Amino acid sequence: MKHCIIAKYTPQAYERRAELLSRIREIFAVAGEIPGVRGAEVYPNCVARENRYDVLIVLDMASEALPVYDVSAPHRLWKEEFGPLLAQKAIFDFEP
């Protein structure tokens, strides 16, 4: 399964997007160590428009790994550090 997190920064956080992208990649670099998670990829948006989200995080995992990911250190860090920096967030899961 692919677990996708699509996020839009607050205006203040958007100004720091390059720095934030580096930190997001650092947080999710260890995702493959979570049982059932094969890895994660982080993509910045390449179009700067008001109606766009700013970053996409795609985790490749077994569907039964979702509860394990939910209590993992990367998920906790993502929520603690980036929750206050986000204006919007959407989650989308699919089977390729």
pLDDT above 90 (res 15): yes
pTM (predicted TM-score): 0.95
Query: What's the whole-number mean pLDDT along residues 81-93?
Result: 98
The CA angle 47-51-54, to the nearest 5 degrees, is 50
According to the model, what pLDDT value does residue 83 have? 97
According to the model, what pLDDT value does residue 95 have? 97
According to the model, what pLDDT value does residue 48 have? 86
Encode pLDDT of 17-70 as tens digits.
999 999 999 999 999 999 999 999 999 999 989 899 999 999 999 999 999 999
